Structures are given as C-alpha cells and as structure tokens.
Chains A and B, each alone.
Chain A
Amino acid sequence: EEQLVESGGGLVQPGGSLRLSCRTSGFTFSSYWMHWVRLSPGKGLMWVSRMDSLGINIHYDDSVKGRFTMSRDNSKNTLYLQMNSLTADDTAVYYCARGDNGSLGHWGQGTLVTVSS
C-alpha cells in the first residue's frame, strides 16, 4: 500500500525557515514525479511545486519561487521542501503527493506550518 508521511512542520517566526520531509513507501519512489500542495485557512488547496523522478525538472508557483527549494533523495525514498523567508501567508497544512499523469494519485496526511510572532 502506498504511504506518504510528512514531517517537519511547526511554529516559526516571520522571516524564518523550515525544512519539510515526506517519507514514502509502498511504491517505486524513483519512478514518479512528486508534488507539494498546501491548504491554507479559508483559501483552499494551492499547488506549491513539483519535481520529476530524477530531480532535474522542478517547477514552483510564483508565490514561493526564490524562497522554497524542493529536492529528493531517491536512495531514501524521501522528498523535501526547504522553506525560507516565511511569511504569514505561508501558514498552511503542507501535503506531499505522488504525480500520476498530471493528477495527484496519493497524498500524505499533511504537516502544519504556522508562521507567527
């Protein structure tokens, strides 16, 4: 059974940084595009970034470009999201998801990031 488990969320001050992780199991991680998506209070789902199976092609939403960096370690079946220069607008539950031909076929349970002083 495919499993994705996010971790690394927490409370951080504006301007601070966090690194999220997504450990996966139950599928061949190195064969799939992976995504980060967030759910903000009152704002619905927003796609954040995606990366191809080799970690070469990476795309970001304009709102996080230059501040967030997505990476992966295929030897550890793990996806990462380094988030810098955080603002209150980045407060959200962050999900990792497996890409399946443009759709998001499997999701984790999410990790909460709160940006507040």
Chain B
Amino acid sequence: DIEMTQSPSSLAASVGDRVIITCRASQDIRGYLNWYKQKPGKGPEFLIHATSSLHTGVPSRFSGSGSGTEFTLTISGLQPDDFATYYCQQSLTNPLTFGGGTKVEV
C-alpha cells in the first residue's frame, strides 16, 4: 500500500495568513493526488484533484502543487471558514490511501 504522510498534524493560524500543508507519498504517485477539507460533524469536501486542479466552486485562494512524492496545499489569505482539517489522498492504486490530516486552528 502507498503510505501518505502529512505535516504538520496541526497548526495555529490567523485570518489573512498564508498556510502551507505538505503531503508525502511513500512512492511516486505521478500526480494522482487529491485534497479534501473537513469540518466537525460534516462529510469531507473535495477541493483539488490531480495535484493542482480546483474542484468546481472552490475559491482561488486554494492552490495545490507538487510532483513525484512531494505535494503541497496552500491557502493564501486564510478565511474564517477555512479553519478545518485537511486531508490528502492518492488515487494511483488500490487501496486508495489518505494522509493523517492537518488541523488548521486559531
């Protein structure tokens, strides 16, 4: 199985900050990397697919980049609704695997 490792596991930030979350894969996943956002008590929301393509309706302050085994999610200008937990996920092979999550909090 491909192991996905996120860092940090949590971070403190303020509205307006630039936030960067890193995701590492245990092997080359050829850009098959997706990002999700989850708020307590709700299902995850799809943010980014294939490393850098924003899902419909996702604000442009979100961006993704990377290749091979190293990927990042950047939030440029954190908004109140962005305080949440973020997960990366590889879709290259079965089983689909997720990172451990990064909680963005005040």
Contact = CB atoms under 8 A, between A and B. Distances in A.
Interface of A: 4, 35, 39, 44-47, 50, 59, 61-62, 95, 97, 100-110
10 interchain residue pairs of minimum CB distance? A102-B91, A107-B43, A47-B96, A45-B98, A103-B49, A103-B34, A44-B100, A44-B101, A61-B95, A105-B46
Given A44-B98, A45-B87, A47-B96, A104 B42 contact: no
A103 B89 contact: yes
Interface in B25-46: 32, 34, 36, 38, 41-46
Interface size class on chain B is 20 to 34
Interface of B: 32, 34, 36, 38, 41-46, 49-50, 55, 87, 89, 91-92, 94-101
